[in-house]
Structure 1
Amino acid sequence: MSTPAQHQTIAIKPIIVPAEGREFELQVKVTAPVQGADLPVIVFSHGNAWSMDGYEPLVDRWAAAGFVVVQPTHLDSRRYGIGFDDPRSGTIWRVRISDLHGVLDHLGHVMEQAGLTDRVDRARVALVGHSWGAQTVGTLLGARIVDDAGHPGEDFSRPGVKAGVLIAATGTGDSLTPFAVEHLPFMRPDYSTMSTPALIIAGEKDQSQMSTRGPDWFLDAYHLSPAPKRLMTVPNGGHTLGGIAGEAVAETTDPDPARVVLVADAVSAYLSDALGVSADAWSTFRAAAEAEQGAVLRHKD
């Protein structure tokens, strides 16, 4: 059976985004539906060590649902070989943030290179990230990184971003393990200023090796940020939530294709609502997710 044209997708890579002072050129991949106009845009920030070539189970489903997805490759990608013991690693969190700003600054260039200039609605842009990518996205939504003295740092928030989704986002830094304190000192987000509307997705059984707390650590982005916010806790979900980074990848501890679909569709439904594409998308998704898959969904407005 052939795939209906309205669900077919295309991918274009690599597209080079202008970026000054970056050791490696900033490359992105663009995935889009074959058909459609006035398409909303998702800029997606990957988790540690991944690249623009990961997360196809999510990205392809978002594109089939009518989104154009832009995926930058950050400097922590394993293809660049910059490990935690590399002296360059200490500034990668800042480069990640610059990458997202750079993609947004040059979104017109990216869409032109992808042949999508006349098909996207650049007034409807959202950010989505997983793990380290979720913390990166959070800074553009208004979260700040707490410094060694306990003071919130620089404001990296991005006007014009309508909404965001944080998947398995870092909690506060008061419970970091010794390894995280030494190698990942930026894992100290202050969510009190993250005012942009957002959906937070967390796994019920996500136990981080970077924190001495339990899975509740991944709920901080919801509980400690101002409204409006949505929260979905995925039943039995681990950090990779069924395999969102790819099918049968080694780091997946909780393989479950249905869980991946749940996460992908939660993002599509939330952003369709938040970006004004479909007013009833979230309510329809929520009813099905709670009744059929036992997901726990909360909100504060």
Structure 2
Amino acid sequence: MPSAQPKGRESVHAVSVEGAPLTQQTCKARLAGQSHEFTLSAKTLSGRLVPITVFAPLESGRYPLAVFSHGAFAAPDRYRAMLAPIAAAGFIVVTPMHIDSEDFDDDIPPTQSDIWLTRNADMALALNPPSSITKRLSDCGLTIDQERTVAIGHSYGALVAQLTAGAKAIESADALTDRRNLGVSAVVGWSPPGPMPGVITKQGWSSLAVPALTITGTKDVFPGFVDDWRSHTTSYENGPSGLSSLWVGEGVDHYFGGMFGREKPADAVSQRMFEQALAKSLEFLEHGVNVANPCLLSDPIQGETRSEK
């Protein structure tokens, strides 16, 4: 199993939004602030060392916790375009690097069983940040409000995040395993997988216990693995009524044209759709942690669909 080597990187991000000036109460305006980033390592209960990247607001204060699980083979820093703005808007984002990340230079790849178990252990660690993280935050004048916690994930990581919110996977002898964390009050899944043999059935999402937002697009496919983008809406279609929301972008693929995960210059349409999806995510998360004055969401643009059930 890989050993973690922290990068020791620390940086500040300024996020800009194109277009006319926005009022302070819009979601996009809140996402356009600055955030602080640092990387260190923490140990799981088994003693495994996990690299963890933290994105946090620049202004001192007490902020809700957002834990994030990246997609297969990816790494936290490939989601900077998503996570740095969420931190700037008022969340402390804690994101572990899972053992399947390509950033680990290992001769022997981990087994699927090891990936599954350690990803869930990583999220448990992020949900209860150790003193190495809380002290580093304290040095910056920051405190985690763990009574206000949300989960976010992309692709395989979206499923891992949804498990913390009450979705149930098949882990042994067709038995459903409850990995819910009672502190999680909302979850956002960017392109969560559909049913996976031996992992989760469509009924697995019926036990989601908190508001859940699913984000996908009409080009969110992987031929031979996900042939129909609608598979990504399974968590919405089978989630409980009154708790399930869906965002769909026309022409949006698995990485929003390269905005995150598999980064590359994205075209203007992909960037615009990403801004809309991110604004919806922030509005959803703020309601999830009962922000006193949640941000205002702009009207949908052409090609954007928002649904609730």
* Conserved 8 A contact 2:78-2:263: no
* Conserved 8 A contact 2:60-2:141: no
2:199 maps to amino acid: F
Q: Secondary structure of 1:277's partner?
A: coil
Match of 1:29 among 47, 53, 70: 53
Cα separation, 2, equivalents of 1:247 and 1:293: 25
Q: Which residue of 1 aligns with 2:80?
A: 56
Q: Secondary structure of 2:176's partner?
A: coil
* Conserved 8 A contact 1:74-1:99: yes
Q: Which protein has the bigger strand share?
A: 2
Change (3 A) 1:278 1:259: farther
Q: Secondary structure of 1:9's partner?
A: strand
- State the percentage of identical aligned residues: 23
2:285 maps to amino acid: L
Q: CA deviation at 1:117?
A: 6.5
Q: Which residue of 2 aligns with 1:214?
A: 228
* Conserved 8 A contact 1:74-1:96: yes
State the TM-score, normalizing by the size of structure 2: 0.79
Cα separation, 2, equivalents of 1:247 and 1:211: 17
Cα separation, 2, equivalents of 1:67 and 1:233: 24
Q: CA deviation at 1:258?
A: 1.7
Q: Which residue of 1 aligns with 2:284?
A: 270
Q: CA RMSD in A?
A: 3.1
* Conserved 8 A contact 2:213-2:246: yes
1:41 maps to amino acid: L
* Conserved 8 A contact 1:198-1:230: yes
Q: Secondary structure of 2:177's partner?
A: coil
* Conserved 8 A contact 1:57-1:260: no
Match of 1:74 among 98, 114, 117: 98
Matched, 1:299 2:296: no
* Conserved 8 A contact 2:100-2:109: no
Q: CA deviation at 1:164?
A: 0.8
Query: What does 1:153-232 align with in structure 2 at a 5 Å threshold?
Result: 153-173=176-196, 185-186=198-199, 188=201, 190-209=204-223, 211=225, 213-227=227-241, 228-232=243-247
* Conserved 8 A contact 1:26-1:74: yes
Matched, 1:111 2:124: no
Change (3 A) 1:211 1:3: closer
Deviations 1:50-79 (A, max 9, x none): 122221111121122122111110011112
Change (3 A) 1:90 1:247: closer
Q: Which residue of 2 aligns with 1:8?
A: 34
* Conserved 8 A contact 1:12-1:31: yes
Cα separation, 2, equivalents of 1:235 and 1:87: 36
Query: What does 1:250-265 align with in structure 2 at a 5 Å threshold?
Result: 256-265=270-279
Q: CA deviation at 1:88?
A: 2.6
State the TM-score, normalizing by the size of structure 1: 0.81
Gaps of 5+ in 1: 175-184
Deviations 1:17-65 (A, max 9, x none): 2214365x11111111211523222111100111222211111211221
Change (3 A) 1:63 1:147: closer
How many residue pairs align between the two structures? 279
Q: CA deviation at 1:225?
A: 1.3
Q: Which residue of 2 aligns with 1:91?
A: 114
Cα separation, 2, equivalents of 1:92 and 1:246: 18
Q: Which residue of 1 aligns with 2:9?
A: none
Cα separation, 2, equivalents of 1:107 and 1:210: 41
Change (3 A) 1:40 1:95: same
Match of 1:241 among 256, 266, 271: 256
Gaps of 5+ in 2: 1-13, 17-31
Cα separation, 1, equivalents of 2:262 and 2:193: 24
Cα separation, 2, equivalents of 1:257 and 1:3: 13
Q: CA deviation at 1:141?
A: 1.1
Q: Which protein has the bigger helix share?
A: 1
* Conserved 8 A contact 1:243-1:254: no
Cα separation, 2, equivalents of 1:210 and 1:42: 33
Q: CA deviation at 1:108?
A: 5.5
Cα separation, 1, equivalents of 2:225 and 2:121: 26
Q: CA deviation at 1:187?
A: 5.7
2:44 maps to amino acid: A
Q: Secondary structure of 1:256's partner?
A: helix
